[in-house]
Structure 1
Amino acid sequence: MSATNTIIPALDGEGDIPAYVARPDADSSRGIVVIPEIFGVNAGIREKCDAWAAEGYLAIAPDIFWRFAPGIELDPDVEEQLQEAFGYFGRYDPDGGVKDIEAAIRWLRTQGTAKTGCVGFCLGGRLAYMAAARTDIDASVGYYGVMIDQMVGESHAIANPLMLHIPTDDQFVSAEAQAKMHEALDPHPKVTLHDYQGLGHGFAVTEGNRRDNDTAELADRRTREFFAKHLA
């Protein structure tokens, strides 16, 4: 595996998106877009890219805040940095963000990938849902995606498989929001929802106070199996 920092062209000539890229040891026809939380392309997100490269995928993590706060790397366990991240979230335009995911998908295809998936966390989980509804990505996975309940009206456009990991005690996604997601998405033939009882937001981070190791490993195994099936 090798890893580099690179830039990829944004759509419509808007500029260049900084990104972290992890390449497998051999050429791969499978790609993964790793979509960060609100903490930037930090060590945990780079570690997730590296893990996908070790599985044989070409992995890229675009800097989703590149338009107004490029290069940030924050630690959610540090209160000041957590509050800084909330400020960036408040400024973020998810409609522009899904265009950046589309740009990453297109870049992966220039590298020879025939099948591409995305996996996102928190805000990235929302973007994974949006990518499933608004792009032709082959498969998508969202972990503790926020505000998806406000976008279930787009679910009719989901044409390829989508998996969502939902911790039931997520302090940022209420029980009512979770119920709305289940009501709208459980009947969808392309969507799979997994609930994790008693778990909170961020349970699958690579390290830190939020991680629940056993449940993170279960969710990650489900994600690996999902992509192995749908990106084959």
Structure 2
Amino acid sequence: MTETVQIPTLDGTATIPAYVARPTGKPKAAIIVIPEIFGVNSGIRQKCDKWAAAGYLAVAPDIFWRFAPGVELNPDVPDELQEAFGYFQQYDPNGGVYDIEAAIHWARREGAAKVGCAGYCLGGRLAYMAAARTDIDASVGYYGVMIDTMLNEAHAIANPLMLHIPTADHFVGPEAQAAIHAALDGHPKVTLHDYLGEDHGFAAEMGDRRSEEAAVLADSRTAAFLAEHLA
């Protein structure tokens, strides 16, 4: 079953729209699917639906709800890609991580004993931030942007975090990737996976960016990681 819900913000002054996919029967756990810069589009909804089919309560919050509520963009359309870049510039991730925390609280109120997340692009950065700043049980980030600027927070990561890093990411260059590895390779709670020659967006559900073999591998690693740590 799928629906749109309103998640109260932490301060209770507003609500965050979110797409929710529910499994049949009692969920194993909850997974927050954190969108890219393209909103809760068909690809993000499909990821939620897959998690629900696997037995999880899946929720994708509208991270742009403050200034572009309900926006759905296609990264393969140049004008829509540029629109998304504009929203990225407006977005405050420090405030946005509170929205992820609000989604964690909502999922627990829905009966989820454990809550994890899987985030993509900007959502991958938010997955890292959630691992460092919230009590989320496990986090996964795909091609997270600007994580290299936040490595001073790595000491605060107390629960498992997995990051998927495409080596040919044209938004996260070699120097940034090297910094991430230098800071996190030895972290007892962090697992890093490199994808040689893959680019940003390789695990999109659909469209020109998807790289099938790498996407299937990354998603299988994510599924096993979250199954282990959300059990």
The secondary structure found in structure 1 opposite 2:11 is: helix
Query: Which SS does the other structure have where 1:218 is aligned?
Result: helix
Which amino acid is 2:158 matched to? A
Offset of residue 14 of structure 1: 3.4
Contact 1:29 1:112 in 2 (8 A): no
Secondary structure at the counterpart of residue 76 of structure 1:
coil
Question: What is the one-letter code of the residue matched to 1:151?
Answer: M
Q: Which amino acid aligns with 2:177?
A: Q
1:73 matched to 2:72: yes
Query: Which deviations, in whole Å up to 9, do the C-alpha atoms of 1:57-88 show, x marking residues without a partner?
Result: 00000000000000000000000000000000
Unaligned runs of 5+ in 2: none
Equivalent-residue separation in structure 1 for 2:173 and 2:23 (angstroms): 39
Partner residue, 2:182: 183
Once structures 1 and 2 are overlaid, which stretch shifts more, 26-35 or 119-128? 26-35
Q: Percent identity?
A: 70
Whole-Å separation in 2 of the counterparts to 1:93 and 1:39: 15
Aligned to 1:59: 58
AA matched with 2:190: V
- The residue aligned with 1:173 is 172
Aligned residue runs from structure 1 range 178-217, under 5 A: 178-217=177-216
Q: Is the 8 A contact 2:122 2:144 kept in 1?
A: yes
TM-score (norm 2): 0.99
Distance in 1 (CA, whole Å) between partners of 2:47 and 2:87 is: 22
Mapped partners of 2:83, 2:13: distance in 1: 25
Residue in 1 that maps onto 2:95: 96
The answer to whether residue 226 in structure 2 is matched with residue 227 in structure 1 is yes
| Amino acid across the alignment from 2:160 | P
Residue aligning to 1:30: 29
The question of 1:123 aligning with 2:122 is answered yes
1:34-66 CA deviation, whole Å, 9 max, x = no partner? Answer: 000000000000000000001100000000000
Matched AA of 1:64:
I
Corresponding residue of 2:15: 16
- Equivalences for residues 142-161 of structure 1 within 5 A: 142-161=141-160
Residues 137-177 of structure 1: CA deviation (Å, up to 9, x unaligned): 00000000000000000000000000000000000001000
CA distance in 2 between counterparts of 1:29 and 1:198 reads: 35
Secondary structure of the corresponding residue to residue 214 of structure 1 = helix
Whether the 8 Å CA contact 1:40–1:71 is kept in 2: the answer is: yes
Question: How far, CA to CA, are the matches of 2:200 and 2:75 in structure 1?
Answer: 11
Q: Which amino acid aligns with 1:118?
A: C
1:28 CA displacement: 1.5
Q: SS of 1:4's equivalent?
A: strand
Using the alignment, how far apart are the partners of 2:225 and 2:13 within structure 1?
Answer: 33
For residue 134 of structure 1, report the CA deviation from its aligned partner: 0.2
Q: What runs of 5+ residues in structure 1 fail to find an aligned partner?
A: none
Give the equivalent residue in structure 2 for 1:113: 112
Deviation at 1:11, TM superposition (A): 1.2
- How far apart are residue 29 of structure 1 and its match? 4.3
Report SS of the residue matched to 2:119: strand
> How far off its partner does 1:105 sit?
0.3
Q: Secondary structure at the match of 1:142?
A: strand
Distance 2:66 2:20 in 1: 19
What is the alpha-carbon distance in structure 1 between the residues aligned to residue 157 and residue 101 of structure 2? 15
> How many Å apart are 1:6 and its aligned residue?
1.1
Q: Which residue of 2 aligns with 1:133?
A: 132
